[in-house]
């Protein structure tokens, strides 16, 4: 099973809403990632979790709050977003400690902030 | 500044033709990955190369990692409409684990 699942597939929210994105993998990967992708651009790294601990935060605004409840789950809590935060949000996972391990991406959540 | 330069940015070919996409950098990478992404979907991992000079084949796709580990190429033989997509290369460095450097991507369109 090389699948990363993400829910919801689509999300529309107002600037005062609170919502959460969810990601799950059962490949035993101990590294998980959140990326943001705008149209016609490559993915941009937001957060990295290694062994369920936040390892990298790429200076992401605090209105994005990641959480890793266990080794299979990754959440991204959203609050008071701006219209410019509209994008495809991608979750990924990889093996930790294996040189050249590939990243496995989920299908993404298409977010629209009104 | 894009550490990984992909070329061309866009490629439109007829079914049955061959194509090559290039990924170049002035930096050395410990690994290089290739992905294909379709609209509204996440990137799908095609291959990872880690050894300079390494060549990997995946059916009609051939991937090469440069001897100096600064560049890579993806060659598709007898392209099919199902090969249409955005091809992304991404490099990893041992001293910056967790951070993949993505190229800007090459949009490939294969028409029947």
Candidates B30, B33, B50; nearest CB to A103:
B33
For residue B78, which of B14, B12, B7, B23 has the smallest C-alpha distance? B14
The Cα A8–Cα A75 span in angstroms is 11
Q: Which two tokens stand for residue B27?
A: 């930096």
CB neighbour list of residue B57: distance below 8 Å, 6 or more residues apart:
B63
Candidates A31, A40, A90; nearest CB to B42:
A90
| Tokens 């910056």, residue located | B96
Tell me, what's the pLDDT at A100?
Answer: 73
pLDDT at A1 over 70: no
pLDDT in tens, B10-59: 999 999 999 999 999 999 999 999 999 999 899 999 999 999 999 999 99
Cross-chain Cβ contact A92/B42 below 8 Å:
yes
The Cα A107–Cα A9 span in angstroms is 8
- In the predicted model, what is the mean pLDDT of residues A31-59? 95
Q: Does A38 touch chain B (CB under 8 A)?
A: no
Q: Which two tokens stand for residue A67?
A: 């959480």
Exposure string for B70-102, b = 16+ CB within 10 A, e = fewer: bbbbbbbeebeeebbbbbbbbbbeeeebbebbb
Lowest mean pLDDT across A39-48, A99-108, B40-49, B57-66: A99-108
Report residue A18's pLDDT band, with 50, 70 and 90 as the boundaries. very high
- In the predicted model, what is the mean pLDDT of residues A15-21? 94
pLDDT in tens, B61-93: 999 999 999 999 999 999 999 999 999 999 998
Q: Which chain B residues have a beta carbon less than 8 Å from that of A45?
A: 98-100
């Amino acid at each position: 099973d090389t699948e990363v699942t993400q829910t919801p597939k689509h999300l529309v929210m107002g600037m005062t809403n609170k919502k959460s994105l969810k990601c799950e993998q059962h490949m035993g990967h101990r590294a998980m990632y959140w990326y943001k992708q705008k149209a016609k651009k490559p993915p941009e790294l937001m957060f990295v979790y290694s062994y369920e601990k936040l390892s990298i935060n790429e200076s992401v605004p605090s209105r994005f709050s990641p959480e890793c409840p266990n080794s299979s789950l990754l959440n991204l809590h959203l609050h008071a977003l701006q219209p410019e935060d509209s994008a495809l949000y991608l979750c990924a996972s990889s093996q930790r400690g294996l040189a050249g391990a590939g990243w496995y991406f989920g299908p993404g959540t298409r977010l629209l902030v009104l | 500044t894009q550490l990984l330069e992909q070329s061309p940015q866009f490629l439109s070919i007829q079914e049955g033709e061959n194509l090559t996409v290039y990924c170049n950098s002035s930096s050395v990478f410990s690994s290089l990955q290739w992905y294909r992404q379709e609209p509204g979907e996440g990137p799908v991992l095609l291959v990872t190369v880690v050894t300079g000079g390494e060549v990997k084949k995946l059916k009609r796709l051939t991937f090469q990692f440069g001897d100096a580990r600064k560049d890579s190429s993806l060659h598709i033989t007898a392209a099919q409409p199902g090969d249409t997509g955005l091809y992304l290369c991404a490099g990893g460095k041992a001293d910056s684990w967790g951070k993949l450097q993505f190229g800007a991507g090459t949009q490939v369109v294969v028409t029947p």
